[in-house]
Amino acid sequence: MEFKTIGIENADYPVLLREIPNAPAEIHVRGALPAAQSPAIAVVGTRKATSAGVKIAEEMGMRLARQGLIVVSGLAMGIDAAAHQGALAGGGKTIAVLGNGIDEIYPAQNERLAERILTTGGAIISEYPPGEPSFKGNFIYRNRIISGLSVAVVVVEAPMKSGALATAGFAAEQGRSVFVIPGPITHPNYVGSHGLIRDGAILVTGASDIMGDLGLASDAGTREIGQRELPFQGELNSNESSILEVIKTSGEPVHVDRIAATLKLTPQQVNQALTGLLINGLIKETNGKYEISYS
Please write the tens of the pLDDT for every residue from 47-56: 999 998 999 9
91-117 pLDDT, tens digit per residue, is 999 999 999 999 999 999 999 999 999
Q: Which helix (H) or strand (E) segment is 124 a member of?
A: strand 123-126
CATH 3.40.50.300 fits 238-292, yes or no: no
- Residues with Cβ within 8 Å of 6's Cβ and at least 6 positions away in sequence, in order, are 12, 13, 26, 27, 28, 29
What residue type is assigned to position 46 of the chain? T
The residue extents of the domains of the chain are 4-214, 238-292
Please state the rounded mean pLDDT for residues 195-207.
93
How far is residue 269's CA from residue 138's CA, in Å, rounded to a whole number? Answer: 36
Q: Is the overall model pTM greater than 0.85, yes or no? A: no
185-189, 225-229, 234-238, 268-272: the lowest-pLDDT one:
225-229
What is the pLDDT of the chain when averaged over all its residues? 88
Domain topology for 4-214: Rossmann fold (3.40.50)
Instruction: Read off the pLDDT band of 220 (50, 70, 90).
Output: very low
What residue type is assigned to position 263 of the chain? L
Please state the rounded mean pLDDT for residues 212-240.
59
Please state the rounded mean pLDDT for residues 1-18.
93
- Residues with Cβ within 8 Å of 71's Cβ and at least 6 positions away in sequence, in order, are 40, 41, 42, 43, 61, 64, 65, 83, 84, 86, 87, 92, 93, 94, 95
How far is residue 284's CA from residue 291's CA, in Å, rounded to a whole number? Answer: 6
